[in-house]
Structure 1
Amino acid sequence: MKFNDAVNRLRDKLFSSIHSNNLIYNTCWEDPRVDRYLLEIDERSNIVMITSAGCNALDYLLDNPERINCIDVNPRQNALLELKRAIIKCKRFETLFEFFGKGTSVRALSTYEKYLRARMSKDAAEFWDRRIEYFTGNAQNKKTFYYRGTAGEFAWLFGKYLLARPKAYTLTRQLLSAKSLEEQRQIYDDLEPRLMNKLTKWLMNRHLTMALLGVPRSQKKLISESYPGGMAAYISESLRR
């Protein structure tokens, strides 16, 4: 028991270290339309929510709630929402699409300095002073913001993994361009054994991998208790849905 407690403390320390020193999410993974439907958000709603990448909070605004309070244990996530809010306040749709549609802009630095920085809090501005190159597409061969943050780094590495496996890469591209659910199912039947192999299943069940993706030990434990194959089984079932 003492050994397990020590291991769990080490895992928690690892998770805390990653979240204390990095942007984690570059986008939200949930479908906020479902939230808006289930929560019945309207003009009387006063919402408290985790910031994450800020996407969901901005989507909730479509229902014109009275107030949205965004909180996050990681201040870098709040800085990301502040950047999005600053661009929206400037009414610069082209900039918004470059930054968060394409994930890259040749004018990122000049736009930030001229239009955005003054619209942010001191803490958020200090973060983006050091990280606005996330949107330039120049550093470390990462051509888009969506390869930034620890979740983005994982996506970049997984993309490299797929590129090294031409058949899996081709099937993934076909899956993303499929015209119907039936076509998706047929392609995924062929892709799944190439995608969910022993190596990827092993990686998905590692605490380090989940920490990089922003999944705390308590959440991983809850999922692992519900699926005999652990996180890998849960992810596999989710992909099949």
Structure 2
Amino acid sequence: MTAPTKEMIADAVFENRPPSRETILDRLFASMFSGLVYPQIWEDPVCDMRALDLDGTDDVVCIASGGCNVMSYLTRGPASVTAVDLSPWHVQLNRLKLAAVQHVPDHRTFYDLFGHADRSENTDVLDRYILPHLDAEAQAFWNGRAPLGRRKGLFARGFYRFGALGSFIGVIHGICRLARVNLREVLAARTLAEQAAFFDARIAPLIDSAPVRLVVRRRAALFGLGIPPAQYDKLAADAGGDVLPVLKARARKLFCDFPIAENYFVWQAVNRAYKADGTGPVPPYLEAQHFAAVRAAAHRVVVHNRSVTDVLADADARSKSIFILLDAQDWMTDAQLNALWDQITRTARPGARVLFRTGGRDDILPGRVASAVLDRWAYDATASAEAFATDRSAIYGGVHLYRLKG
């Protein structure tokens, strides 16, 4: 990780505060972003695009993460997408996906790379079709070393098993094996009732067990989900300070509220991969029906290894219509929130929308962002509630949508 990247992450996560018990955890969390965190982003792009009514007139600013959502937005053909991330890994992954969709010969090859992500021939595909179209820095990155081989080789060994999220899910699977719980059995469920029965009989008792309670009540336990200490506290606040009931309720939503055949987040949670035969649910950008649209719009995306506030500071006034912030604001101090919303408001054009998630239930902006700025925006309670209810990823406490007034 370069020095500028370390400084950006420090500013975002712990603001270079002097060492203390709290900042030690923050620093441990920030250190994860020197590597791959999210092989798959854990927010649902379908409910987001519906809430935002994203279309070909929109100029989007978003946090890139693992790139699944950035690529999926292209199914709507937006005018432009500016994607930002503090993780060099995420930036390179997004650029790789964009180059791939433009240069591979067909959808099958693209799906082998990012859908199956475990084909031995994928490294040859990268060398032949994709890496020659990337700059020297990106080529060096993907040819560089990772655990068990070169980074590009991860796509031949089950890419979704790696990174902080993949490793975290692997630990959960290990705990389940010790408890003799086979999570993959839920994939055979044919109805929501069968899914709920499996959860109540196998998963809920495991969550309530003493070993799991002991682990998850430690603030570092959820780092693999990308949840820093400050966000952990917001989760716990929804249940009077105990995070376990919150995690149990959200796991129930993930496993019980959406049909298995429609929820790729469940497949990743229990399989660390999509359905092996390629017939299961996947993010929109991987669906064959969207391949041509994603390919046609890929050149409209620019990816920056910077903070969203800094990127917006360089943008023209009234030049953006959609801002998608994921859960990044849960990390922010009041000063950081105000700096961000100053820039959002300056660059927002009439009709602009902002969508974000929170670890806790409540909207975190009132009382923290200056009223002179926030009063220029209207909270869309109906769209927010609908987006939250239909978010298949299930791990967040709220999805929130604001619209620029006037």
- With normalisation by structure 2, the TM-score equals 0.53
- Corresponding position of 2:53: 40
- Corresponding position of 1:225: 237
- Corresponding position of 2:288: none
Q: Which has the higher strand share?
A: 2
CA drift of 1:151 comes to 0.9
CA drift of 1:196 comes to 4.0
- Corresponding position of 2:306: none
In structure 2, relative to structure 1, the CA distance for the partners of 1:225 and 1:109 (3 Å cut) is: same
TM-superposition CA deviations, 1:29-67 (whole Å, max 9, x none): 221111011111112211111111111111111111111
Q: 1:134 aligns with which of 154, 159, 163?
A: 154
- Corresponding position of 1:93: 107
What amino acid is aligned across from residue 112 of structure 1 in structure 2? L
Alignment of 1:153-232 (within 5 A): 153-166=167-180, 168-169=181-182, 172-191=183-202, 192-228=204-240, 230-232=242-244
CA drift of 1:239 comes to 1.6
Unaligned runs of 5+ in 1: 138-143
Matched, 1:147 2:167: no
TM-superposition CA deviations, 1:4-31 (whole Å, max 9, x none): x811111111111121x21100001221
> Is the contact made by 2:41 and 2:67 (CA closer than 8 Å) also made in structure 1?
yes
Distance in structure 1 (CA, Å) of the matches to 2:110 and 2:241: 41
In structure 2, relative to structure 1, the CA distance for the partners of 1:121 and 1:215 (3 Å cut) is: farther
> Is the contact made by 1:25 and 1:152 (CA closer than 8 Å) also made in structure 2?
yes
CA drift of 1:104 comes to 0.6
What amino acid is aligned across from residue 59 of structure 1 in structure 2? S
Q: 2:80 aligns with which of 42, 63, 67?
A: 67
> Is the contact made by 1:78 and 1:124 (CA closer than 8 Å) also made in structure 2?
no
Runs ≥4 residues deviating over 6 A: none
Distance in structure 1 (CA, Å) of the matches to 2:117 and 2:210: 32
What amino acid is aligned across from residue 208 of structure 1 in structure 2? A
The share of aligned pairs that are identical, in percent, is 25
- Corresponding position of 2:247: 235
3-state SS in 1 of match to 2:153: helix
Distance in structure 2 (CA, Å) of the matches to 1:124 and 1:231: 40
Q: Which has the higher helix share?
A: 1
Distance in structure 2 (CA, Å) of the matches to 1:108 and 1:62: 24
Deviates more, 1:192-201 or 1:145-154: 192-201
Alignment of 1:22-33 (within 5 A): 22-33=35-46
Unaligned runs of 5+ in 2: 1-18, 145-150, 254-406
CA drift of 1:195 comes to 4.2
What amino acid is aligned across from residue 181 of structure 1 in structure 2? L
In structure 2, relative to structure 1, the CA distance for the partners of 1:236 and 1:104 (3 Å cut) is: same
TM-superposition CA deviations, 1:118-142 (whole Å, max 9, x none): 22244332221121121222xxxxx
3-state SS in 1 of match to 2:37: coil
> Is the contact made by 1:87 and 1:116 (CA closer than 8 Å) also made in structure 2?
yes
Matched, 1:77 2:90: yes
Matched, 1:16 2:52: no
3-state SS in 2 of match to 1:48: strand
CA drift of 1:227 comes to 2.0
What amino acid is aligned across from residue 95 of structure 2 in structure 1? E
Distance in structure 2 (CA, Å) of the matches to 1:51 and 1:27: 11
Distance in structure 1 (CA, Å) of the matches to 2:242 and 2:141: 36
Distance in structure 2 (CA, Å) of the matches to 1:232 and 1:73: 30
- With normalisation by structure 1, the TM-score equals 0.86
CA drift of 1:211 comes to 2.1
CA drift of 1:146 comes to 1.0
> Is the contact made by 1:99 and 1:105 (CA closer than 8 Å) also made in structure 2?
yes
3-state SS in 2 of match to 1:208: coil
The count of corresponding residues between Structure 1 and Structure 2 is 227
- Corresponding position of 2:71: 58
> Is the contact made by 2:67 and 2:93 (CA closer than 8 Å) also made in structure 1?
yes
